[in-house]
Structure 1
Amino acid sequence: MDIFWVAIGVAAFLIFFLSMGTWIFASMLAVSIASLLLLGDFQPDRIGLIFSRILYRASNSWELSAIPLFILMGELIFRSNLSERLFKGLVPLTSHLPGGILHTNVLGCTLFAAVSGSSAATTATIGKITTQELKARGYDRNLSIGSLAGAGSLGLLIPPSIVMIVYGVQAEVSISQLFMAGVIPGLLIAVLYALYIIARSVLSPHLAPKQEIPGQTIWQSLVLLSPILVLICIVIGSIYTGIATPSEAAAVGVAATLVLLSLERQLNISLLIEALKGTLITTIMVCSLLVTAMLLSTAMGYLHLPRELAAWIAGQNFSPLMLLVALAVFYIVLGLFLDGISITVMSLPITLPIVIMAGFDPIWFGIFLIIMIELGQITPPVGFNLFVLQSLTGESISRVALAAFPFFILMCIAAVIISIWPDIALWLPRYMTQ
């Protein structure tokens, strides 16, 4: 069968199952089976044999053990008062900047992202404190909500990141190098956000009124920030120094979090049970998507779809720039309807062979992809950060989306910057592995 009609058939199957309201993992499983049966003329017993091997291999991947551990770490922190301490520690450090404590959104999310791995958890944890504080102190509502929506998405880019682990497993690249590659681009986006807040506040001082903040020394601020800083050093430091793999670092991070909460006298049975429940639900969702995505990837491989599409695109002589623009539009459109993990696992079987054939580094492409996914976090109708902020603030989803739009543009600028200068993402992995 002509590869064009195979691609049309696979897309039609996927659209059909998703439009029926079927769960995404079930849709991918159904598409895999239907594609091999109807488009590849495979017998059911052969499909069962192929899928049983893939299921066993996928579910026994050591790298996947990091996912529930990092999720548990974020759940434990989310359900403690560490976010309140983080805010109180950042207020004196930011109050003298143009924009004042609006910067706690950006800095707070940047720091919390380094121990969370989740965009929604980062937004919810920082937002439950800053949204009410900034409103009570007279800061501009749109700038407050928008900066939190944009900065909360850094939970996907600044390591440890659940999406990075998923990408690393699927693309078969080093997760440690992906973690390293995300640091500088994540900080670049945070700086762009901070500069935007400063510029808006200088041009329109009423957006961030000057206020007297009760005296607090730098040392007092560092004491309040110390739990988060210690966890960052333990988790990220153990990976970058080569002491631990990402999976081992996740286990160490959970242990350190439990010890820290015990010392803070916050650890109790109720908190632990709630954290384990949240971890179980999220882990099942992530791993079911990942395993069925591997089945879909295998099915596409048997149909020769990635190879043929990659060859077709190579034959069109697209320039690398045009290919990137096309992929950016493709991922932004997907981000309107799907979450980040679903986008990653559903698209990589098609896009990864294409970008590798075009000469792009798979580590760099992982960072580019995550920035595209971050854009989807702050765009309706399925922008998770927007729904989190709607529940936190009580504002309409349209207002939250409009407030986030300037930060959507800033993230697009960051994607352009790392596309022009890819070493922004690749320098740290090369330096740390020398």
Structure 2
Amino acid sequence: MMHQEAMDLRFSSCRGVSFEIKPHKDPFAIDATRKTWLPWDSSKRIVPASGGIITRSTSRASSHFCDLDIDDETDADNILINIEEGYELNYELSVPNPAQQLPKDPSRKIVSRPQTKPKGSRLSVILLDQGMFTVYKRLFMVCLSLNIAMLVLASTSHFSYARNHATLFSIGNLLALTLCRSESFLRVIFWLSVKVFGRSWVPLRLKTAITSLLQSVGGIHSSCGISSVAWLTYSLILTLKDRENTSNAIIGVAITILSLLCLCCLGAFPLVRHLHHNVFEITHRFTGWASLILLWVFIVLTKSYEPETKSYRKDVVSKLVKEQEFWFTIAITILIIIPWVTVRRVAVKVSAPSGHASIIKFVGGVKPGILGRISPSPLSEWHAFGIISDGKEEHMMLAGAVGDFTKSLVSNPPTHLWVRQVCSDPTKSSLTAPTT
């Protein structure tokens, strides 16, 4: 009986069928007009009565790892397959004769029927079902609106500094989006936030708001990416209008950078990112690196070019150190290089207590509650998981088998994985740096 109850609990909370408790004047009362579950019934199936204490919720089926099978692996897999194929599980129940002998280990049968409710498109799920006014999207709109406002003022000659330094604003947005994804920078921001707002006298509402902002800085990252494209387009238009004072090489490099940034933004579009995540990662990484290299070429060319003689100066270093674009690009380069300096290949032990999840163990105790990144190939893909640790000898990650990489951890457990470490000595810890 305890085994059956455990299976029922696991199924109802993790297999895509969720329930919610509704208030009732007497939670112990049984309505005789409704079908109700009783523990001694074994011949029929369970149907939550509509409008009763327990009703079917509107939440969608989840493919996350929350189902560690107890012992009936085959039956559990069949249940999951039905849910993934779009079937709803329906249970019926009738109250048996009390005189009947109670079975010691009741079994239940599952009947699946096609889902009658039409499914929405993947795009509508990604864009709409996640909420129209999330903190992420609010930050995205605020940041984008500020950039649009400054761009309009610059184009109407009401913001002369931005008009004369449009390229600087584009690079500034690139620096801001890099900071939002810099693990070292975010470590400092999170540490300061805890020190300042983690006091007992700070209102809980303010703590919650700060936490929401820190967890949604990706909205600023995305907005700055689009804004950098807009500012660079505006700078290129101004350059083409004054083509006599520039060179074809500068224009060609600028157009190439703009094309790479546009490709990077298209690859990060939600539909592409969710359906082709590996394509997104490769596009994002290599177009970003190529853009950074060409950005250095662009800065050197623009700061060394002399329109009067139509030639390039040789002593460009003395002029570069006086330009803001140079220092912004230096900061971007350092922030991008730092995580790759800490990349290490470490030994791991992978076990699979379920066909739907794996446990990855690393040597070295670390502070629990942080996030780590692992990869089978550092140039192709990285995956982030929460870290559990005893703080002494080892730490581990729990990975749900929901993608190609996480499924391979179950079917073909690796002996080594790539990680991003905090400490440079690989013998001390395999800890990866936290991020959002």
TM-score range, shorter chain: under 0.3
TM-score (norm 2): 0.27
Q: Greater relative contact order: 1 or 2 (C-alpha under 8 angstroms, separation 6 or more)? A: 1
TM-score (norm 1): 0.27
More strand by share: 2
